[in-house]
Amino acid sequence: QVQLVESGGGLVQPGGSLRLSCAASGSIDVIWTMGWYRQAPGKQRELVAELTNAGNTNYPASVKGRFTISRDNAKKTVYLQMNGLKLDDTGVYYCRLWGSGGVYWGQGTQVTVST
C-alpha cells in the first residue's frame, strides 16, 4: 500500500511564497513521475507541475517561472516551491505519484492566497 502525505499549505498574501512537500511511503518498485495538481472551488483538477524520473519537468503557462518542482529520491519526497503567489493560485493541492504499482494521490493540502 502506497501512501502520499502532503504538508506545507497555508494562508499567504499575494506575492508571497510557500513550499509544499509530499512524502511517499510503502512498497514502490519504480516511480515514473511525481507531480502536483490543484483544484479550485468549482473548477476541475489541473496539473501544476510534474517531474519524471529522467529529470524532465512540465509546467503549465500559468505557473511557469514561479513554481519549481524538485525531488529527493532517497526520502521519496517531492517538493513544490511556489513564489510570486497570486489570488488564482488558491486551491487544494494534491500530490500524485505514477509508478509500477499504479497511480496514487495524496489527501490534499489547502493553499489560500488572500489579502
* Span 30-56, pLDDT tens digits: 888 999 999 999 999 999 999 998 999
Distance from C-alpha of 109 to C-alpha of 34, rounded to nearest angstrom:
16
Examine the pLDDT at 27 and tell me if it is beyond 90.
no
- CA angle, corner 19, sides to 61 and 101, nearest 5? 80
Give the tens place of pLDDT for each residue, 15-26. Answer: 999 999 999 998
